[in-house]
Chains A and B, each alone.
Chain A
Amino acid sequence: MSRSRRIRSEAVAAWHSFLRRRTAVFFTFFFPVILVVIFGALVRTQPTDGGLFAEPAAYYIPGYLATVVLFTPLSRVGSEIARHRDDNRFEKLATTPLSRTEWLVAHTAVNTVIIGLASLLILGLVVLLTDASIPITASLALLVPFIVLAVILFCGFGAVLGRLADSQDGVIAASNTIALPLLFLSDTFISLDQLPGWFGPLVELSPLTYFARGVRTLTYGPAAGEPFLGNLLILAALAVVLFVAGAYAIPRTD
């Protein structure tokens, strides 16, 4: 009870803080919107012409979802840690019963809600603005654990980044530098056969790859029926590892 009370208190404060930063709210949701509008509605996919967007529109749903699942936790948790450190909030929290793990659980919960809403927005826009069709099956509900696990994973990653970077600017620069290649080279927007053969093993190293492949089996008709459990388990294992690393990385002393 005490633990849930502490986590709830931290999460409520973080949620209010987020909601009251209007520009943060706007751009958190505007970013995926503009991505879908540009690539899904303006550029459009050209399945017969080859090139970058050579697959049907629904093929790229994992990529669109990956933008929020990847960028939002990395930048938000990393920045929050930098902000906490600059404002001596961790020094204060270190003398309260709230543990580092509880802090990260609270902020992961807030990010899960934010990214869940953004994901719904993306799915709706993809259906509305492109000719994508998402197979409505019971297994579509498995999108939830995929998204939640990915958020946990990248919140942990963001915490590590926040610890290593010495400022909020540093966190933003580092998260962009890491996230951009991950976004495009994780079997999201660019399929493996468009990359040099030697690059294949590197794609397997990206945690986002398992998110993208798993989500694709749930949202892209031609991939339906392909096994997703392996991707889910790998994602879960990586989420645990990164979350533990992130919780450990959160500063407790100077």
Chain B
Amino acid sequence: MNEAVVATGVGKTYGDTVALDGVDLTVAEGEVFGLIGPNGAGKTTLIRALTGTTPVTGNIEVFGAEPTAVDSERVGLLPQSFSPPARLTAREMIDYYAGLYDNARDTDAVLADVGLTETADSWYETLSGGQQRRVCVGTALVNDPDLLFLDEPTTGIDPAGRRALWELLESLAAGGTTVVLTSHSMAEVQRLSDRVGLLQDGQLVAVGTPEDLIADHGGRSRLVIGTDASSAAASALAAADFTATASPSEVVVDGVSPVDIGDAVEVLSEAGISYDTLTWTEPSLEDVYLQLTGESFEGAMTPGASAMAEESSEEPTEPAAAGGDR
């Protein structure tokens, strides 16, 4: 497969601040590459470097050319914090950006893609934040780009709009469009990306498929049992070869697959221990993120994880129907 983007030793400093520090990256044609990382990690700077809108050290090739020399008809960009002219309608906005290209798509088709057909004649400034962001996404699609850079494309978009946009990006990817996107939504990146790169302090500290990253860095699935008898519960579970850790109001059982949940509940039942809640989580990209960035995370639900909670019962609960084992 040909490479759409090849970056080698990319560096960038702002005064004493190192924004990018020797980043090596390749993105294959047709691939969806997700960039994640904390605020200030260098994601936006890397997007700017790849689009030739900021000078950097190192070497970058986009479709075999320098970023500033690449055929702009082939590239689409949605910058972060992009704010187009506020008093154009959504239709005029798409028309405006389409007018900058020789082979632009039909405006109505772009508006339909981003779900703005009904509000096409409203001024940008009167649209909701999510609708505004969808207009901005539309401006990146007007030239039917082969390579699409999206810097936090779904910021401010409501869940329904976000899912619609995900489906749009999935259809673009299915059609062969190469996509490089950044996001703070791990669910979004995990769902959309073929490969993910994690930037931290300007360095690409991990690259791989979401599945590989989760397997390598996500830890194991776990069962969190809310109970007042946490010590007794932990002891009973440990006796049954579970890895259980007690805290005052809950027990965390590490490495529990969906099929193990019934066994754990059976242990509690046999020991006469009641519980208030059962929550099972599988590792996700968010766990990878937290693990690799060193940020704290305890007991929170993760996107993509299945969970269940029910009142205390002597009967074992059914495991949640979730994808993936530990």
Within 8 A of A (CB), among B75-115: 75-88, 92, 95-102
Q: For B13, what are the chain A residues with a Cβ–Cβ distance below 8 Å?
A: none
Q: For A17, what are the chain B residues with a Cβ–Cβ distance below 8 Å?
A: 85-88
Within 8 A of B (CB), among A1-39: 2, 5-6, 8-10, 12-14, 16-17, 20-21
Query: Interface with A: B20-28, B48-56, B204-212, which one?
Result: B48-56
Whether a CB of chain A sits under 8 angstroms from the CB of B72 is yes
- Contact partner, A9, options B81, B99, B123, Cβ 8 Å: B99
Chain B interface size band reads: 35 or more
Q: Are B84 and A16 in contact (CB under 8 A)?
A: no
Q: For A20, what are the chain B residues with a Cβ–Cβ distance below 8 Å?
A: 87, 123
Within 8 A of B (CB), among A222-254: 252-254
Q: Known contacts A6-B100, A9-B100: does B53 contact A91 (CB below 8 Å)?
A: yes
Whether a CB of chain B sits under 8 angstroms from the CB of A97 is yes
Q: Known contacts A88-B79, A88-B82: does B51 contact A9 (CB below 8 Å)?
A: no
- Contact partner, A96, options B72, B84, B85, B123, Cβ 8 Å: B72
SS class of chain B's interface: helix, strand, loop or mixed? loop
Query: Within the assembled complex, what's the spacing in Å between the Cα atoms of A94 and B143?
Result: 14
Q: Are A97 and B102 in contact (CB under 8 A)?
A: yes
Q: Are B82 and A98 in contact (CB under 8 A)?
A: no
Q: Are B95 and A88 in contact (CB under 8 A)?
A: no
Which partner residue on chain A sits nearest B83 by CB separation? Answer: A87
Q: For B76, what are the chain A residues with a Cβ–Cβ distance below 8 Å?
A: 95
Whether a CB of chain A sits under 8 angstroms from the CB of B274 is no
A10, A89, A91 pick with most chain B CB within 10 angstroms = A91
- Contact partner, A94, options B51, B81, B82, B96, Cβ 8 Å: B51
Q: For B139, what are the chain A residues with a Cβ–Cβ distance below 8 Å?
A: 92
* B159 CB, nearest partner CB in chain A, Å: 26
Whether a CB of chain A sits under 8 angstroms from the CB of B73 is yes
Query: Within the assembled complex, what's the spacing in Å between the Cα atoms of A93 and B75?
Result: 11
Q: Are B95 and A9 in contact (CB under 8 A)?
A: yes
- Contact partner, B92, options A13, A21, A97, A253, Cβ 8 Å: A13
- Contact partner, A254, options B48, B84, B85, Cβ 8 Å: B48
Q: For A87, what are the chain B residues with a Cβ–Cβ distance below 8 Å?
A: 81-84
Q: Are B72 and A8 in contact (CB under 8 A)?
A: no
Within 8 A of A (CB), among B33-78: 48, 51-55, 72-73, 75-78
Q: Known contacts A21-B87, A97-B72: does B79 contact A6 (CB below 8 Å)?
A: no
Query: Within the assembled complex, what's the spacing in Å between the Cα atoms of A2 and B103?
Result: 10
- Count of chain A residues with a beta carbon within 8 Å of a chain B beta carbon: 28
Query: Within the assembled complex, what's the spacing in Å between the Cα atoms of A86 and B85?
Result: 12
* A182 CB, nearest partner CB in chain B, Å: 30
Q: Are B88 and A16 in contact (CB under 8 A)?
A: yes
Query: Within the assembled complex, what's the spacing in Å between the Cα atoms of A97 and B80?
Result: 20
- Contact partner, B52, options A13, A89, A94, A98, Cβ 8 Å: A94
* A252 CB, nearest partner CB in chain B, Å: 7
B86, B99, B102 pick with most chain A CB within 10 angstroms = B99
Q: For B83, what are the chain A residues with a Cβ–Cβ distance below 8 Å?
A: 86-89
Q: Known contacts A253-B53, A254-B54: does B96 contact A95 (CB below 8 Å)?
A: no
Q: Are B51 and A13 in contact (CB under 8 A)?
A: no
Which partner residue on chain A sits nearest B99 by CB separation? Answer: A9
* A254 CB, nearest partner CB in chain B, Å: 5
Q: For B96, what are the chain A residues with a Cβ–Cβ distance below 8 Å?
A: 9-10, 12-13
Q: Are A96 and B101 in contact (CB under 8 A)?
A: yes
Q: Are A88 and B81 in contact (CB under 8 A)?
A: yes
0 or 1 for each of B143-155: is its CB under 8 Å from A? (1 = yes) = 1000001000000
Q: Are A97 and B101 in contact (CB under 8 A)?
A: yes
Q: For A10, what are the chain B residues with a Cβ–Cβ distance below 8 Å?
A: 96, 99-100
Within 8 A of B (CB), among A93-112: 93-98
Which partner residue on chain B sits nearest A89 by CB separation? Answer: B84
Which partner residue on chain B sits nearest A5 by CB separation? Answer: B99
Query: Within the assembled complex, what's the spacing in Å between the Cα atoms of A2 and B97?
Result: 13
Q: Are B100 and A98 in contact (CB under 8 A)?
A: yes
Q: Are B102 and A91 in contact (CB under 8 A)?
A: no
Query: Within the assembled complex, what's the spacing in Å between the Cα atoms of A86 and B81?
Result: 9
Q: For A252, what are the chain B residues with a Cβ–Cβ distance below 8 Å?
A: 53
Query: Within the assembled complex, what's the spacing in Å between the Cα atoms of A21 and B80?
Result: 25
0 or 1 for each of A74-95: is its CB under 8 Å from B? (1 = yes) = 0000000000001111011111
* Interface pairs A-B: 9 shortest CB-CB: A9-B99, A87-B83, A20-B87, A13-B96, A88-B79, A95-B77, A96-B100, A91-B79, A17-B85
Other than A88-B81, A91-B51, A96-B97, give 5 A-B pairs with Cβ distance below 8 A. A5-B99, A13-B88, A87-B83, A88-B83, A94-B53
Q: Show 10 residue pairs from A and B whose CB-CB distance is below 8 angstroms, ordered by the A residue.
A: A2-B102, A9-B97, A88-B81, A89-B83, A94-B52, A96-B72, A97-B101, A252-B53, A253-B54, A254-B54
